[in-house]
Amino acid sequence: MTESDRADEALFALWLSGYDVDPIAARDAWIQCLNRVQLQRAKAASRFSGGYFGLATRWWKLLQRKNAIAASWRPEGIKVDQQFIREFLGATQEWLRNESERDDNDFRSHVLEFIVRKFNTDEKSTRKNIRRMWILIDPRSALAIGPSIKLIQSFSVAELRRAQNSLTLVARALQHGMLISTPLDDVSRVFLPIKLMRDFIGTSLAKLLIMTNRSDCKLPIEESIVVLHRFVMRVQSTDIIDKTDVIPACSASVRSEWELTKKYLANIWRGTL
């Protein structure tokens, strides 16, 4: 954490990372963080003539300035024009702000077009998978701030504690991975995983864990986390051959175990989607 972090952000980040934080206090801090983000986004959008579409366009331009990120949106052999990306980001922002069923149908069409164009998938099967996932997991409650706040307010202590069990495994795996593979100082090794959990992984994962546990879809997310945590924790610094790559090169034994792990994960997920 830094001096600029607010108390609620720090408290929520610690809960996401497995520290002993009261679940109700963590839930309240989570909601406070979302309320602040909602106000910040509305204020930022008001600066643009196009509102949220203008804000989305601005985000896209910032992404383009970072060549590594922009390149990942345009993989070789797959062409997605920049105007389409801007329109998709704008449609996403508008969908997150509106709550009608028509908006859901319109946005599903945008998602379908984006996936088909970016990943060159079959349109018929992609449409079917999108419709099924929309039923299993309500994307609006998971992504839109207003519905998210209502959803989080309904989380019980038992649900929060169960979710934190999985979040703790993820945070420990991140910390262990950094410990054995990256040249970080002791302070960074402690706080960087916390920041990653708060800013990129933990928030969405916490909602997804609780939402899937409430539904009938029974996705094996918790078991997958246990399996991946077990694999990462078995890897030691002596197994890392080259630490210069983004994904470090590992020994033959680690690569072999990773292949077995992937097969196991594929097996438990087969037939669930």
Per-residue DSSP letters for 63-92?
A: HHHSHHHHHHTS-TT----HHHHHHHHHHH
Residue 63: pLDDT band with limits 50, 70, 90: low
Where helices occur in the chain by DSSP H, the ranges are 7-16, 23-45, 52-65, 67-72, 82-97, 101-119, 123-136, 139-143, 145-153, 157-181, 186-196, 202-214, 221-234, 252-269
Q: How far apart are the first and last CA of the chain?
A: 38
Q: Residue length, the chain?
A: 273
pTM (two decimals): 0.72
Residue 127: pLDDT band with limits 50, 70, 90: confident
Which is more confident, 49 or 219?
219
Closest CA to 82 of 95, 109, 68, 64: 64
Region of poorest pLDDT, from 46-50, 83-87, 103-107, 114-118: 46-50
Tokens of 115: 């996936």
Tokens of 73: 């949106």
State the pLDDT at residue 273. 57
User: Dihedral sign, CA of 43, 49, 51, 52?
Assistant: negative
Question: In the predicted model, what is the mean pLDDT of residues 177-200?
Answer: 84
State the pLDDT at residue 77. 44
Helix (H, G, I), strand (E, B) or coil at 172: helix
Question: In the predicted model, what is the mean pLDDT of residues 232-261?
Answer: 85
d(CA 23, CA 165): 12
Assess whether pLDDT exceeds 50 at residue 74: no
Residue 199: pLDDT band with limits 50, 70, 90: confident
CA count, 13 A, side-chain hemisphere, 259? 6
Contact 218, 153 (CB under 8 A): no
pLDDT tens profile 80-94: 566 777 677 777 767
Residue 106: pLDDT band with limits 50, 70, 90: confident
Phi, psi of 99 (to 5 degrees): -130, 10
Which of 62-71, 77-86, 94-103, 209-218 is modeled with the greatest confidence? 209-218
Look at strands 240-242 and 249-250 and give their pairing: antiparallel
Which is more confident, 189 or 161?
161
Region of poorest pLDDT, from 68-72, 104-108, 199-203, 226-230: 68-72
Percentage of the chain beyond pLDDT 90 is 34
Question: In the predicted model, what is the mean pLDDT of residues 19-28?
Answer: 96
Average pLDDT, the chain: 80
Tokens of 109: 């069409």
Residue 178: pLDDT band with limits 50, 70, 90: confident
Question: In the predicted model, what is the mean pLDDT of residues 44-64?
Answer: 58
Q: What angle do CA 228, 213, 16 make, to 5 degrees?
A: 55
d(CA 241, CA 212): 38
Q: What angle do CA 18, 23, 26 make, to 5 degrees?
A: 80
